[in-house]
Amino acid sequence: MSSACRFACATKLKYEPKDVQAQPGAIAGKLTQCPVSGVVFAIDASRPHVRFAKEDYVTCCDKCAQKLRANPRHYLKA
């Protein structure tokens, strides 16, 4: 049985590509792209954060955060 994402990651936001901030360095209230799933989402305090190589990355959901923690080099250019 699979669990539903608490953030509704499948939601399709309408956005301009220029409005999506790169990670690391994206800030709360702005749009960014999950380094694991590629989903574009708005950053808020409840989103999971993963620290890697002294940088902070925000993921769209807990499942993506777990994947990023398990294998950061697979998802990040580090």
Establish if 70 belongs to a structural domain: yes
DSSP string, 19-77: GEEPSSS--TTSEEE-TTT--EEE--TTS-EEEETTEEEE-SSHHHHHHHHH-HHHHS-
Establish if 69 belongs to a structural domain: yes
Tell me the residue range of the domain where 65 lies.
Answer: 17-75
Instruction: Please give the tally of structural domains in the chain.
Output: 1
Query: pLDDT tens digits for 10-58?
Result: 556 788 999 999 999 999 999 999 999 998 998 988 999 999 999 999 9
Query: Would the pLDDT of 3 be above 60?
Result: no
The pLDDT assigned to 14 comes to 81
Q: Which residue type does 77 have?
A: K
Establish if 32 belongs to a structural domain: yes
